[in-house]
Structure 1
Amino acid sequence: MERTRLRADCTNCFGLCCVALPFTASSDFAVTKDAGQPCTNLGADFRCGIHARLRDRGYTGCTVYDCFGAGQQTSQVTFGGRSWRDDPATAAPMYAAFPVQRQLHELLWYLADAQDLAAAAPLRAELARAYAETEQLTLGSPGELAALDVAEHRARVNTLLVRAGELARAAVRPKPKDRRGADLIGARLRNADLRGANLRGAYLIGADLRGADLRLAELIGADLRGADLRGADLSEAIYLTQFQINAARGDRTTRLPAVLARPGHWAG
């Protein structure tokens, strides 16, 4: 499916990830910042003044974050192009709407992924309806977004995503591993055959996945921070996001799905 609207377009956003979200001084952020407080690096044009030097200046977290296109949707559609600077009355409801939009757009990404799975063809009509319903929710007013029980909607969509993932992984033989929620922090998985593995919510922080085969592995919610993906094959990984890839380490030999971009900070 076309993913254009699910990619961040910072030129049409009012710097919402730099304002609405909190930062905590850590290895990811150089400073602590409250939600609703503009980052000191945010310019008058809503662009980052140190974008090319974020990692050098201690803002690694900014280079990892992805809003799935929720920033421009909130700025240009939900609030009709009225910025929190030009119309301060929009600030609080805009900051409240943005995280909800981000969750909805993330669900749209997963639903698009599921519809692209050949093995999930029996569910295609249900997936298309869920996509259309979620897309309609993104068009809601600030008040409707604030009142939305997004957790309940996620739970319903997730049931469908689980079924689609199961259909896709069922074709892998021998029976793939089920490592849902597994603690694999720092695990030595170099050259591991993880085809079709269920890695939903698995903790793969700092794991050595060099040369691993992750085709048709289900990675929704998997924590890939610092995971070494050099030479790994994720070309057909299920529910993989740019956010996860940005947080990992890789190089030109890492194979990614065509819908994802190779991060600029990865090795050559």
Structure 2
Amino acid sequence: MAGQLSLKDDCEQCFGLCCVALPFAATSDFAVDKDGGEPCRNLQANFRCGVHDTLRKRGYRGCTVYECFGAGQKVSQVTYNGQDWRSAPESAGQMFAVFPVMRQLHELLRYLDEAMSLETARELQAELSAAFEATERLTLLGAEELLQVDVAVHRADVNVLLLRTSERVREGMKGQQMNRRGADLIGAKLRKADLRGANLRGAYLIAADLRGADMRQADLIGADLRDADLSGANLTGSLFLTQSQLNSAKGDADTQLPPTLTRPAHW
């Protein structure tokens, strides 16, 4: 099982890759337009964000909900051995192309790491460990090899195993048969809903009213929780919930979270 820190963002060890490699457009999430490969105007010479503490106030909410799962430091310190794109501009384009590939692989590692920790899925431990090790080996490839990885195929294979894990953990739960995978639940009125063990994979829960909802053991992998109101909701034991999902939602001091996640500062 991976050390938890290796699957969390460590901006101190990264060359500001998400601030350069990724494009964004002027919307409610970003104050300005920026092309991929173009450094954000707020990126400093030391690769730190110059307005990090006031991102939301300045209109960069999208930055506060982004999570690379440790891919930034892996690309910076392992794939490129600590050589940054400013000192080696000839490698910049390749580095920026490698970063999103690595990010997808690290996201899978994050889910597999959680799956391996679930006592109710112990019989899948060998398969989960093998999938984790295979994914980790991909992250250690050289830059050119990484760009040849068919991440979509690998994701599909891993997702089958993650779904089996989810079904095993949710077995016997009240909401196990509640399959809202990919459902349009935008603005849904789900206050105090009993969603224990529900399949909410990839569900669109944007601006949904989930105040006081019981979401224990609900599978939330890929669910869109932007502006969803989680005030007073119980998310303990929820499956595959990430910090970025929480950061995109609303909540309060009464929202119950898994112990591995942190209550967002803006709640």
- TM-score, normalisation: structure 2: 0.98
Q: Is the contact between residue 229 and residue 249 of structure 2 (CA under 8 Å) also seen in structure 1?
A: yes
- Shift of residue 171 of structure 1? 2.6
List, as ranges, runs of 4+ consecutive aligned residues in structure 1 with deviation greater than 4 Å: none
Percent of pairs identical after alignment? Answer: 62
Q: What is aligned with 1:19? A: 20
Asked if residue 110 in structure 1 is aligned to residue 139 in structure 2, the reply is no
- Shift of residue 173 of structure 1? 3.2
Structure 1: gaps (5+ residues): none
Q: What is aligned with 1:122? A: 123
Q: Is the contact between residue 176 and residue 194 of structure 1 (CA under 8 Å) also seen in structure 2?
A: no
Deviation string 1:26-45 (CA, Å, 9 cap, x unpaired) is: 00000000000000100001
Q: How many residues align?
A: 266
- C-alpha RMSD of matched pairs (Å): 0.9
Q: What is aligned with 1:226? A: 227
Whole-angstrom CA distance in 2 between matches of 1:82 and 1:261: 32
Whole-angstrom CA distance in 1 between matches of 2:175 and 2:249: 28
Deviation string 1:132-180 (CA, Å, 9 cap, x unpaired) is: 1111111110001100000000000001001000001113136441111
The code of the aligned residue for 1:171 comes to G
Deviation string 1:176-234 (CA, Å, 9 cap, x unpaired) is: 41111111100010110000000011000000001101000001111000000011011
Q: Is the contact between residue 15 and residue 72 of structure 2 (CA under 8 Å) also seen in structure 1?
A: yes
Q: Is the contact between residue 175 and residue 198 of structure 2 (CA under 8 Å) also seen in structure 1?
A: no
Structure 2: gaps (5+ residues): none
- Most deviating of 125-134 and 255-264: 255-264
- Provide closer, same or farther for how the CA distance between residues 14 and 176 of structure 1 changes in structure 2, counting only shifts above 3 A: same
Asked if residue 191 in structure 1 is aligned to residue 184 in structure 2, the reply is no
Q: Is the contact between residue 175 and residue 195 of structure 2 (CA under 8 Å) also seen in structure 1?
A: no
Deviation string 1:226-261 (CA, Å, 9 cap, x unpaired) is: 000011011100011111111111111111111111
Q: What is aligned with 1:9? A: 10
Whole-angstrom CA distance in 2 between matches of 1:132 and 1:255: 32
- TM-score, normalisation: structure 1: 0.97
Q: Is the contact between residue 188 and residue 208 of structure 1 (CA under 8 Å) also seen in structure 2?
A: yes
